[in-house]
């Protein structure tokens, strides 16, 4: 499994934190977090729907796509590529915490970082023994903005919570 370190005080630090400490689970958790916020009229008063996902109980695969407006530039001096999400949700509290793997400071940026990181790990043969190609992303330029577009599929498990009141979907690790 491609382990990550959850930062101290991270928003997504839950009681099942060990499940959240894989790259695959971080991507799934960020998708779930942002989709919940997109459905919240207070956090998303303009009704933007930049994320889509579908989970199949038959084959336990979650498919997703996203199209998030971004600022895309090259830093002068260092020449580093910068992809910064235009935050589209309001009044939400999000943090990756301190001292962890993820460095993004907003939820949308954290999803972009997680997707890009997961694809980079997929492209590292020693960390992808199945040669899985589940994640793809690109930057597309429209007439007046850049769009981070991603699509993918994540193998999952789905279990009822102990009290049987909800279905909990977790990512299956395929990266090492």
pLDDT tens digit at each of 176 positions of the chain = 688 988 888 998 654 444 458 999 999 999 999 999 999 999 999 999 999 999 998 889 999 999 999 998 899 999 998 999 999 999 999 999 999 999 999 999 999 999 999 999 999 999 999 999 999 999 999 999 999 999 999 999 988 888 999 888 999 999 99
Q: What pLDDT score was predicted for residue 15? A: 42
Q: Has residue 100 been placed in a domain?
A: yes
> What whole-number distance in Å separates Cα of residue 130 and Cα of residue 155?
13
> What whole-number distance in Å separates Cα of residue 167 and Cα of residue 93?
25
Determine the Cα angle at 153 with ends 44 and 172, to 5°.
Answer: 105
Q: Has residue 5 been placed in a domain?
A: no
| DSSP symbol at 11 | T
Cα–Cα distances (Å) from 18 to 1, 12, 21, 171, in that order, read: 12, 11, 5, 12
Q: Has residue 124 been placed in a domain?
A: yes
Q: How many domains does the chain have?
A: 1
Q: Has residue 56 been placed in a domain?
A: yes
Q: Has residue 25 been placed in a domain?
A: yes
Q: What pLDDT score was predicted for residue 67? A: 98
Q: Has residue 12 been placed in a domain?
A: no
Q: Has residue 70 been placed in a domain?
A: yes
Q: Has residue 9 been placed in a domain?
A: no
Calculate the dihedral angle through the C-alpha atoms of 61, 30, 146, 40, rounding to the nearest 10 degrees: 100
* Cβ atoms of 72 and 82 closer than 8 Å: yes
Q: What pLDDT score was predicted for residue 79? A: 93
Q: Which domain holds residue 25?
A: 17-171
């Amino acid at each position: 499994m491609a382990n990550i370190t959850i930062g101290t005080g991270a928003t997504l630090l839950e009681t099942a934190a060990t499940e959240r400490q894989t790259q695959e689970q971080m991507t799934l958790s960020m998708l779930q977090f942002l989709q919940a916020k997109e459905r919240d009229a207070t956090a998303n008063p303009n009704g933007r729907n930049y994320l889509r996902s579908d989970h199949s109980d038959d084959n336990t695969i979650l498919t997703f796509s996203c199209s998030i407006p971004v600022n895309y530039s090259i830093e002068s001096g260092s020449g580093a590529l910068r992809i910064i999400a235009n935050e589209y949700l309001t009044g939400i509290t999000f943090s990756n915490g301190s001292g962890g793997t993820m460095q993004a400071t907003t939820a949308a940026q954290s999803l972009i970082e997680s997707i890009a990181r997961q694809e980079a790990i997929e492209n590292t043969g020693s960390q992808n023994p199945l040669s899985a190609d589940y994640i793809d992303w690109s930057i597309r330029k429209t007439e007046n903005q850049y769009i981070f577009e991603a699509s993918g599929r994540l193998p999952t498990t789905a279990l009822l919570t102990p009290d049987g009141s909800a279905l909990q979907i977790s990512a299956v690790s395929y990266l090492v």
